[in-house]
Structure 1
Amino acid sequence: MSNTDNDQQKNELSRRQWIGRVSVPAVAATMGFNLFGNTAVAAPKAAKGDNLTGSRVYNIRDFGAKGDGKTLDTKAIQAAIDACTADQGGTVLVPAGVFVMGTVELKSNVTLHIAAQGKILGTDDGKQYYAAQAIPLDIGWTMNDGNVGLFFAANADNITIEGNGIIDGQGRRFRSPVKGAPSPAGISGNHRPYHLLFYKCKNLTVRDLTLLDSAYHSVRVCLCSYVKMEGLHIHGKVINNNDGFHFIGSEYVHVSNCDVESQDDACALFGSCKFITIANCSFSTRWSVFRFGGGVAENITISNCLLYEVYGCPIKMRCSPGSRFENISFSNIVMKDVTGPISIGNGERDSANVGTPKTPGIVKNISFNNIHATVVKPVPLRDSEHPSNYNPGEIFSCLVLNGMNQSYLENISFNDVHITYPGEGTAEQGAVRDVPKVAGEYYQIGVPPAYGMYARNVRGLTMHNMRFEMASPDLRPALIFDTVQDAAVNGLSVQGQNGAESLLRFIKTQDVLLTALRVLTPVANLLQVEGAESSNIKIDGGDLSKAEKHLVFSNGAEAKAVKLRD
C-alpha cells in the first residue's frame, strides 16, 4: 500500500466510528426512526447552538397519538406541532394509522408529513371543532362562510402539508337527514370545518395529498401570499357546497397537477387575486370550475386543464360594480360534457339593483386560446349524493359575454375555439330580444337566444378560427352581437338551420369586419341587422353559398350599414 493510500485510510471514518461519535438521539430525530430498530424516537429538547434546531422530526405517536381510528388524538397532534414550532420548526410526522381529530392549529415553520398509510380522520363529534378567533368572519368579497378548520393557520409563515396520506373530513356526518333536522355531527351551516383553512399566511405549500369528503369547502386560502398547491386529489360530493379550492384576496398562487371532483365551485377566485397560475389539472363539478367574483382579479393564467362533467359553468366571471378583472388568459383547455362553457358578466347581479348609480366594473384583456368543448344537456353528476335540478338557462346554454347598461367588456379574444352544442333550441327561444340585464348566475338571463355565442355590450372583440357545430338541429341563431363595437371575426365556421330566423344577428352593432366566413349548412338568411345604430359592418370573402339570402334589415337598420363582398 502506498503512503498516500495509507494516509487516506487513516483520515476516513468507518460507519461504526461515525455512529459512535454522533449521538444516537440526534441522528434518529433527524431521520425520523431509530437506527437500531423500527420504533420512532422522541425528538430531544432543543439546546442552544444545537445543529439540529429547526430540522427535527416529531412523530405524533411520541406525543401520545394512538392512531387506532377511535381514540381522539387532537391534543397529541397539537402538542407535536407546538413542540416543533417552539424548536424553530421541523417536521411533524403522521405515521401509518388512522388518527381521529378535531380542530388543530398549524404554526410557522412546520412541515406536516402524512405518511402513505397515514390518515387524518375528522371526528364526527361537532363539539371538537372551534372557530379560529384570529380569522374574522367578514374578510370581504364573499358571504360569511365561517372560520372553522380541521387544520387552520393564521398569520403564520413557512407551512407545508405533504405526503401521500389522506385527510378525510367525514362530510356525510355533517349533512342533515332532512331539512331543519340536526346533522349526526351536531353542527351544520358555517360551523362546519374546512379540510384546510389559511388566513394571512406566507410561503404556504400543500402537496401530494388526498383530501376526501370535507364537511364544507376543502381548501380555503384567505389573504395569503406565495402559495403552492401541487399534486392534490380532492374528492367531495357529499355536501351541497363541497367546493374544491377557494382563493380569496391572495397573491402569487400556483396550482398544478391537481385533480378535483367536487359538488360546488371547484376553483373559486374571489376578491383581489393577483399573480395566479393554474396548470395541468382536471376538474369535475355540478357548478363552476373557475369562478371569479368581486375585487380586483388580474395577471392570471390558466392552462393545460381538462374540465369534464361540469354541469354548471366551467368558466364563470362575475364582475360587480366597482370591481375589475384584467389580464386573464385561458389556454389549452379541453371541456368534455359541460354546460354553459364560458360566461362573463359585468353589471348588477340582481335585477332589483338595476338603475342604481354605481361605478361600472371593468372587464378587460381576457383571452381564450385553443379551447375544445363538447356541450351537453345536463344530467345528474356522477357519484354525487345529491339530486340535480336544472334551470332552463342551464339546459340551453352557450358562450355568453354579458355587459349591460353602462358596463362593457373590453378587448376579449377567442382564438382556435371549436365547440359542439347539443341543439334542440326552438325558433321561439331564438326570437327573444329582451334578454334580462343581470350578471348573477349565468343561467339568470334565461335561455340564450343564440346557440353558439351571445355577446352584449362588448368593445374590441376578436374571434379567430372558431367553429360552432350542433349535435342536433337548433333554430336559434349561431351568433348574436347586441351593442357590440369594434369586432374582428376571421375564419368563423358555423352550422345553421333553414327554420331559423337567421344564422347571425347584429343589433345596434358597429365597426365589425367578418372575413373568411364559412356557412356549413343551408340557411334561409345569413345576417339580420337590427337598429338604426348599426353601421360599418363589412363581410369580406368566405363561403356563403349555402345561405339562400345574405342580408335582412329590420327595426330601423339600413342597407348602407353593411358592405358585402363574397
Structure 2
Amino acid sequence: MIRRSLLTGVAALIALPAFAANGLFNVRDFGARGDGVTLDSPAINTAIAAARRAGGGTVLLPAGHYLSFSLRLFDHITLLLAEGCVLEAANPAIHTGGYDLAEADLPEQFQDFGITQFHCSLIYADGADHVSIIGRGLIHGKGLVREDPGARWHGATGWIAPRSADPKEIATQGQGLRAIGLKNCRNALVRDVTILEGGHFACHLLGCTNSIIDSITVDTNRDGIDIDCCRDVRVTGCRVNAPHDDGIVVKSSYALGRPVICENIIISHCQTSGFETGSVLDGSYRLSDYRSVDDIGVLGRIKLGTESNGGFRNILISDCLCENTRGILVGVVDGGVLEDVVVSNIILRNPVNHPLFVRQAARLRAPAGTAVGTCRRVRFDNIDVSGADGRYPCGVQGIPDAPVMDVSFSKLHVVSAGGGTAEDATRTPKEKRETSLEVSFMGPLPAYGFYGRNVRGLNLRDCQFDVEKADARPAIVLDDVKGGRIEGFAASQIVQKNGTDIAIG
C-alpha cells in the first residue's frame, strides 16, 4: 500500500528539492494508524517535527483515513496526501482534544475573527518559506465550524477588552475554522488536493508572496479560495463549488494590523459554481435551494474587494467558467485604491444576479480618518453570458463624491430572460453610500442591458444585449456618467441623465 502511495504523486515530487535533499517522512513510521478512529494528529505532527529537524522534507500520508486536529507546517516542509488518503478534521465535541488556539493578538476590529486568526486551522503555516500541500488525497473538514464570532469592536475607542472577556471568542477556542490557512508565507504551493466542507474558509492565504494554488478542487459550504493582502499569487486550474459564500475572492483586509495592498494576482482557467455542497464531487450537480441573506440565491462567485483597506493593483481574471453563481463583482468599499484590473475570456452560465458589476462605496470599516477609496482602470473583454436574470443587467455604480473612473466593456454578449415592464423602466435604484460590496440592495434595474451611475470615463464597444422576452426598458441607462463612448447602439436605445461628453455610435 505504501509503495502504491509513493508512486502516486511522483510527478509532483520531481520538482521538489526538499524531497531530493532531505528525504521522506512516512507518518505511519511515527505511529499514525490511518483507521479513521485513532486521532493521528500527534503522530503526523511528530513526523513534521522530524522533517523540520532535518532541515525540511516531505511528510507522506499514504492511503488511509486520518483523523486530525491542527497540523502546523514549517520551512521547506511538504505535506503529501497520496491518492486514497482522507484527512478528516476532528470534532472537539466528539474527539478528545482541540485545534491550536487562535493567535494572541487583537487586530480584528475591522474584519471578521476568522479572517485574522489562522492557527485554529486544520493545516496551517505562519511565516514559513517553501511550504507545500500537494497530492491527490481528500481533506474533509467534517469537524470544522462554518461560523465565527464576527468582527468585534466596531467604532470602539480607548482600551479594547481582552479576548478572554468575550464569551463568543471564548467559545471558539479549540475549534477549527478552516481546512488550509497560510499566513505570511513565501513560496507556498497548494496543488492537486481536494477539499470537501472546508469550514469557514477552505483555502485561505493572508500576507503571502510568490505563491501558487493549482489544480485543487473545493466543494464547500462557505468560502472556497481567499487571497488576502498577498503579492505575486497565481490561482490556476482550480474547481470551486461554494453555494453558501464566495468561490474565489481577493481581499485586502486589515487582518495584518495595517493596510496592505493585494497586487499581482492571477486567477486563470478556473471553474466556480453554486450547486448543492458535495454534488460536484459526487457528479450529481444538484441545484441548491440556498437563498442567502438577500433572498436572491446562491453565491459561489469570483469577487474582488470584500475588504479593501489596502487596495488592489494588477489583477488578472481570465479564461474562467462560472456556472449557477452570482456574477463577477469588483470594487472597493473600505478605502484603498483599486486599479489595473482585467477580466477576460469568461463564460458565465445562469448567473443568479448581475453578471458583471463594478462597485464603489464608502462603508469604511477602517481606522478613523480613512479616506474614501478610488476605483479606476477596470477592463472587461470577451465575455459570454447566458441564462441571465432579466432584472439584473451588468453595470457600474459609484458614489457622487467618488465616482468609478475609466471602465471599459468590449466583446460582451449577454442573453437574459428580459421581461422588464414600463414600470421597471421608470425606477430610480436606491443609492447607498455606506454599504458592503454587494449590490442586491438596488433591486431590479431600469435597463435590460447595462446600468451606469456616478462614472467618469465609460466605454462600451462591440457589446450585445439580447432578451428572450420582450422588454420595455431601454438597453442602456446612464445617470451622472461623464466622458466616454458607447458604440453599436442608437441614441434611442440609451437613456442619459445628468451626463456629458458621451459619444454614441
Q: State the TM bucket, normalised to the shorter chain.
A: 0.7 to 0.9
Task: Tell me, in whole angstroms, the C-alpha distance in 2 between the residues paired with 1:161 and 1:175.
Answer: 22
Matched, 1:223 2:223: no
> In the alignment, which residue of structure 2 is the partner of 1:447?
444
Matched, 1:411 2:402: no
Q: In the TM superposition, what is the alpha-carbon distance from 1:487 to its structure 2 partner?
A: 1.3
Structure-2-length-normalised TM-score = 0.78
Letter in 2 for 1:265: D
Distance in 2, Cα, partners of 1:67 & 1:255 = 31
* Secondary structure at 1:107 match in 2: coil
- Residue by residue over 1:309-337, the C-alpha shift from the partner in whole angstroms, topping out at 9 and shown as x without a partner, is 10x3x211231253211001011000001
For structure 1, the residue ranges without an aligned partner over 5 or more in a row are 1-31, 39-50, 177-185, 378-394, 495-501, 516-566
- In 2 relative to 1, CA 298–94 (structure 1 residues): closer, same or farther, beyond 3 Å? same
Query: How many Å apart are 1:472 and its aligned residue?
Result: 1.3
> Alpha-carbon deviation of 1:136?
4.5
**Does the residue aligned with 1:360 lie in a helix, a strand or coil?**
coil
The offset of 1:268, in angstroms, is: 1.2
| Distance in 2 separating the partners of 1:201 and 1:175 | 24
Q: Distance in 1 between matches of 2:109 and 2:189?
A: 24
SS of match in other structure, 2:45? helix
Distance 2:107 2:175 in 1: 14
Q: How do 1:123-202 and structure 2 match up within 5 A?
A: 123-126=90-93, 128-134=97-103, 136=105, 138=107, 142-145=111-114, 146-147=117-118, 148-170=120-142, 174=145, 191-202=175-186
Q: Distance in 1 between matches of 2:324 and 2:133?
A: 29
The equivalent residue for 1:268 is 249
Match of 1:551 in 2: none
2:83 counterpart of 1:116: yes
Map of 1:548 onto structure 2: none
* 2:317 match: 302
Q: Do the aligned partners of 1:260 and 1:284 also contact (CA within 8 Å) in 2? A: yes
Which of residues 337, 340, 346 in structure 1 aligns to 2:360? Answer: 346
Is the 8 Å Cα contact of residues 240 and 272 (structure 2) preserved in structure 1? yes
Q: Is the 8 A contact 2:65 2:87 kept in 1?
A: yes
1:471 deviates by: 1.4
Give, in whole Å, the separation in 2 of the partners of 1:317 and 1:200: 25
Alignment deviations for residues 92-113 of structure 1 (CA, whole Å, 9 cap, x no partner): 0000100110111111110111
TM-superposed deviation, 1:236: 1.0
Distance 1:70 1:367 in 2: 52
**2:350 is paired with a residue of what secondary structure?**
strand
Name 1:87's counterpart in structure 2: 54
- Amino acid in the other structure paired with 1:300: I
Q: Which residue of 2 aligns with 1:181?
A: none
* Partners of 2:146 and 2:177 within 8 A in 1: no
Q: Report the AA paired with residue 427 of structure 1.
A: A
Q: 1:452: Cα distance to partner?
A: 1.3
Residue type of the partner of 1:507? K
The alpha-carbon distance between structure 1 residues 489 and 122, as it changes in their structure 2 partners (threshold 3 A), is: same
Distance 1:429 1:141, change over 3 A: same
Q: How many angstroms apart in 1 are the aligned matches of 2:109 and 2:21?
A: 36
The whole-number CA distance in structure 2 between the counterparts of 1:472 and 1:256 is 37
1:479 and 2:448 matched = no
SS of 2:446's partner is: coil
- For 1:243, the equivalent position in structure 2 comes to 223
Structure 2 match to 1:46 = none
Structure 1 residue 139: deviation in Å? 6.0
- Secondary structure of 1:435 counterpart: coil
Deviation at 1:203, TM superposition (A): 0.7
| 1:132–1:86 CA distance, 2 compared to 1 (3 A) | farther
- 1:56 matched to 2:23? The reply is yes
Q: Does the 8 Å contact 1:53/1:88 carry over to 2?
A: no
Indicate if the aligned counterparts of 1:341 and 1:375 stay in contact, CA closer than 8 A. Answer: no
**SS of equivalent to 2:67:** strand
Q: Could you list the runs of 5+ residues in structure 2 that have no partner in the other structure?
A: 8-17, 148-169, 253-260, 275-297
Of 127-136 and 294-303, more deviation after overlay is shown by 127-136
Within a 5 Å distance, the mapping from 1:354-365 to structure 2 comes to: 359-365=371-377
Contact 1:142 1:270 in 2 (8 A): no
Q: Is 1:73 matched with 2:40?
A: yes
Higher relative contact order (CA 8 A, sep 6+): 2
Q: Residues 204 and 226 of structure 1 are in contact (CA less than 8 Å); yes or no, is this contact kept in structure 2?
A: yes
| 1:212 aligned residue | 196
State the alpha-carbon separation in 1 of the partners of residues 265 and 239 from structure 2: 18
- Structure 1 residues 460 and 190 mapped into 2: Cα distance closer, same or farther (>3 Å)? farther
Alpha-carbon distance in 2 for matches of 1:139, 1:228:
26
Change (3 A) 1:208 1:461: same
* 1:234 aligns to 2:218 (yes or no): yes
**Distance in 2 of aligned mates of 1:64 and 1:345:** 53
| Aligned-pair CA distance for 1:131 | 4.2
Indicate how the Cα distance of structure 1 residues 189 and 414 shifts in structure 2: closer, same or farther if over 3 A, else same.
Answer: farther
Task: Tell me the equivalent position of 1:398.
Answer: 393
* TM-score under structure 1 length normalisation: 0.70
2: CA distance, partners of 1:451 / 1:410: 23
CA gap 1:53/1:233 in 2 versus in 1, 3 angstroms = closer
Structure 2 residue identity aligned to 1:329 = V
What SS does the corresponding residue of 2:323 show, helix, strand or coil? strand
Count how many residue pairs are aligned between Structure 1 and Structure 2: 426
Out of 279, 298, 316, the position equivalent to 2:268 is: 279
Deviation string for 1:40-71 (max 9, x for gaps)?
xxxxxxxxxxx999421000000000001111
Quick check: 1:509 aligned with 2:499? yes
Cα distance 1:243–1:136, how it changes in 2: closer, same or farther (>3 A)? farther
CA apart distance, 1:189? 11
Q: Aligned residues: percent identity?
A: 27
Distance in 2, matches of 1:400 and 1:141, equals 28
Q: How far does residue 357 in structure 1 lie from its aligned partner after superposition?
A: 9.1
RMSD after superposition: 2.9
Tell whether 2:346 aligns with 1:333: yes
